[in-house]
Chain A
């Protein structure tokens, strides 16, 4: 799939001076590699989305419903009343430009409408025209424009070229959140039957089978058995993985990619090994088999529907609390939306680690704890036997994923773990990590093959920072805690910064974990040879 994209040397030559075109003139260019395929009618019908119809962005006529303009404007009015943030954000932007060069898509493409301020102006100009006095009277002088089909096309192009990473809002003096604008833009487009398949299909699958990939329960059981076999090959220990166990203490939910994709698989093995070593009383569920929530990428309604299953399963299985795996947007949904959308979870208890007794106060409302918090707590209290030298063949860096960084603030926990399980850890340059972290370029459902050029462009700042530590510090492994990241980075890094592998935090832990009764480890979780001094010392 890579033949159509230019070489890295060509792609990095970005022109930042905006071409003559006016901000107010809709000018979407649906070039190959810059947009994603549209949603299938079947899936839309399954989700009950309005106006399912066949269309492609390259068509001249998008076959919008007859009264599309009325639908969109009514939708806007509804949302202006429902979400104070929308109204305020559209009113108070002073066009200071602080956000302008902060978006990874702008840095990668030079397209001026990718500047967050311009992306918001796409909607704000319509707001002014129909909802403000000044806009109604003075029109384009105050930046108001009519809602035409070309504007809808432009909205589709640019609201599906924002990964809702919120880096822009870090720099805005009012914290204007282009992510919310994009989410609401996508909701409005949804109302007239415009969306992309890569968001609709997983959401539809999730509603049907409990996970985005549409994997039925027995296939999940198969995959778990496969993992158990692999762990036995690696460590000599046959572990047991409870599934749908009623009365377990903890429900473990992780993104479905963890059980099916590479390199997520190695992290999955890491979880299983860790839980076995702790003798943790947990269970996974074949029905709530997905932590991620692709509903987040098209409407609040869908977020709520898909997320409800986690609490429903927790109630059905009678667990005490929920532990979540390495997923990015799952955490933003849990941390910022779940309590209002699906909660309160009064049938659950405040998470308390059965191994260390630590009470996770910050999860008081949602009753769900992040595995990095859980594991770093274990390591801090010396509950795990670790041999970091087993990871000596890896020189490791850590990528803060958008949602864990800007939707929670979980920085030190994974770094603590990594520093304890690896001897060689290097952070990327300060201005590209933590709350200023750069998105991988494929979030919010934009990680499709047909969108490859934009993904590579969007991932340029992050990959460039990885290349920096690769060249300066010999980094050859980039870890992260997000399933979309893990899916996207191998392609991204192969293009921009070859020689750096992608992995998970718990994969590194799995390598370093000295398990009771294990045989001498000849290789790491991926099959690379490694030394294992600790076992020799034990004997």
Chain B
């Protein structure tokens, strides 16, 4: 429990900082321009450095954990996706792992049947589902946000946004991904707190990561639902941001919620390369299951 409380405490501080910065000190430029630039820089450099460090270490042995039947005799069917014997299998396996979380799909849980003292192993899919929903929602939300940085916006992105916006028929502010990402994050957090095994292995940084991402998501959602901001000014700012010529003319007119959202996002970007979230790069650069079997 301490981990949850402490991370919420830190999150609270991270919310109060921009509130004070804007309401009390009027530091719009700092929060809208300087901090985001610094955060983006730290994120990019941090990730590049991390991947450079990984790349510089050697890979002396090819020791994949194989699953599935190997390729041996011609009359035995090998499992190309589980135990790749060539590049195509490797790519197939990587695709399944990155986009469909293949390994989590094989997850099992066990229980001991009291009467006959038998260990039962059954498939369990909630972690897979929550992981998929969270990561895919995150991806779609990020894709949607690219519309802020481009004019005219790309058709594919518009299409994704339109599908995501289907609930607008009923509620003009509701995106599918907004709802499901919060549900998934809540599930993942509850799982961490309620399972004794998960609680044992979770560190402050684990709870904090969930709290921070939830903070970013919630502040974004609240911006759409309650504390509407002027999107035109935001988009002007965003596009000028990319040009490295920030347009600070209308910063006063953008609501407080925006600054909170951007500050939390900046905190996340700064925190990213120093935390476990580097699994974004790590999962691709080395996965023990992705090496082809034979040279």
Interface residues of A (CB under 8 A from B): 9, 12, 14, 16-18, 23, 80-88, 91-98, 100-102, 107, 112, 115, 117-118, 121, 132-134, 141-143, 166, 169-177, 180, 300, 332, 336-337, 339-341, 358, 360, 362, 364-365, 373, 376-377, 380, 405-413, 416, 429, 431-432, 434-436, 460-461, 464-465, 467-468
Contact = CB atoms under 8 A, between A and B. Distances in A.
B274 A132 contact: yes
Contact of A101 (B59, B110, B117): B110
Interface in B266-295: 274-279, 282-283, 285-290, 293-295
A78 to B, nearest CB: 11
A75 to B, nearest CB: 15
A101 B197 contact: yes
Interface of B: 6, 50, 53-73, 75-79, 82-83, 85, 97, 101, 103-104, 106-110, 112, 117-119, 121-123, 127, 131, 191, 195-206, 274-279, 282-283, 285-290, 293-295
Contacts of A141: 6, 203-205
Nearest to A406: B65
A362 B72 contact: yes
Q: Report which residue of B106, B110, B196 has the largest number of chain A beta carbons within 10 angstroms of its beta carbon.
A: B110
Contacts of B63: 85, 177, 180, 332, 336-337, 407
B72 A413 contact: yes
A409 B76 contact: no
Contacts, number: 240
Nearest to A435: B67
Interchain residue pairs A-B with the least CB separation, the first 9: A175-B288, A409-B70, A92-B282, A84-B57, A435-B67, A431-B121, A92-B279, A143-B203, A175-B289
Nearest to A98: B107
29 contacts: A12-B117, A14-B112, A16-B197, A18-B200, A84-B59, A91-B278, A91-B282, A93-B279, A107-B119, A117-B201, A141-B6, A141-B203, A142-B203, A142-B204, A169-B65, A169-B288, A170-B65, A171-B106, A174-B283, A175-B64, A176-B288, A177-B63, A337-B61, A376-B76, A407-B66, A409-B66, A412-B76, A434-B68, A461-B110
A16 B119 CA distance: 14
Given A85-B286, A410-B70, A134 B274 contact: yes
Contact of B61 (A91, A340, A410): A340
A100 B201 contact: yes
Contact of B198 (A97, A337, A341): A97
Contacts of A405: 66
Given A141-B203, A380-B73, 14 more contacts: A94-B206, A94-B277, A95-B198, A102-B108, A166-B65, A169-B288, A170-B106, A175-B65, A177-B63, A177-B65, A336-B63, A409-B79, A416-B76, A461-B119
A380 B75 contact: yes
A465 B119 contact: yes
B279 A376 contact: no
A12 B290 CA distance: 37
Q: Report which residue of B109, B112, B122, B199 has the largest number of chain A beta carbons within 10 angstroms of its beta carbon.
A: B112
Contact of B69 (A112, A166, A336, A409): A409
A157 to B, nearest CB: 17
A406 B66 CA distance: 5
Q: Report which residue of B58, B63, B123, B205 has the largest number of chain A beta carbons within 10 angstroms of its beta carbon.
A: B63
Contacts of A86: 57
Q: Report which residue of A18, A98, A121, A180 has the largest number of chain B beta carbons within 10 angstroms of its beta carbon.
A: A98
A413 B61 contact: no
B187 to A, nearest CB: 13
Given A83-B58, A91-B282, A373 B72 contact: yes
Given A92-B283, A97-B195, A101-B109, A118 B70 contact: no
A300 B197 CA distance: 33
A175 B61 contact: no
Given A92-B283, A380-B73, A98 B65 contact: no
Contacts of A83: 57-60
Contacts of A174: 279, 282-283, 286-288
B197 to A, nearest CB: 5
A27 B277 CA distance: 29
Contacts of B56: 81
Nearest to B83: A409
A406 B67 contact: yes
Contacts of B191: 97
Contacts of B279: 91-94, 174
A175 B103 contact: yes
A143 to B, nearest CB: 4
Contact of B70 (A101, A362, A380): A362
Nearest to B131: A96
Nearest to A432: B121
Contacts of B57: 80-84, 86-87
Contact of B101 (A9, A173, A376, A410): A173
Contacts of A134: 205, 274-275
Contacts of A409: 66-70, 78-79, 82-83, 293
A86 B288 CA distance: 11
Contact of B66 (A18, A93, A337, A435): A435
